[in-house]
Structure 1
């Protein structure tokens, strides 16, 4: 996956069993490219509903709460939120 900005959609039930408001507080995310961490590399929650969340990602490596999320390609990632690690299928698109 080349470095860029990507938008990912995932079902909340596949990410975490935490309530949504608690889950959002768990996000401590920094995205790194091949060089240095930049402020504009922070992942943001672009949209969320009762059963889904849309994440905005910049770069090719993400750290969530100190755990590494490596974006392997457009559709797979290993995500750690609230202490649990999940591999999730994403619908990803570059923009």
Structure 2
């Protein structure tokens, strides 16, 4: 994988020290640690964006259909799934 050199990143000295200490504990360089942290943050931010779009689509579908599952039906189904999982676990 090729890499791109980004502009220098200026950190608060305290934060820089904390990150360097965490990187050292993991046996990695500060640059590698920072890249992993930033990658995880970007992944989560993108996932959040996708979920927001999906949520909006579901909301719009509900507004059109007005179809919803009553809470008691959900509770009953979850209870059935719990009981099935317990029975399966007991058979092991």
Query: Is the pair's TM-score, using the shorter chain for normalization, greater than 0.5?
Result: no
* TM-score bracket for this pair, using the shorter chain length: under 0.3
From the CA coordinates, give the structure whose radius of gyration is larger.
Answer: 2
TM-score, with length taken from structure 1: 0.20
The answer to which structure has the higher helix fraction is 2
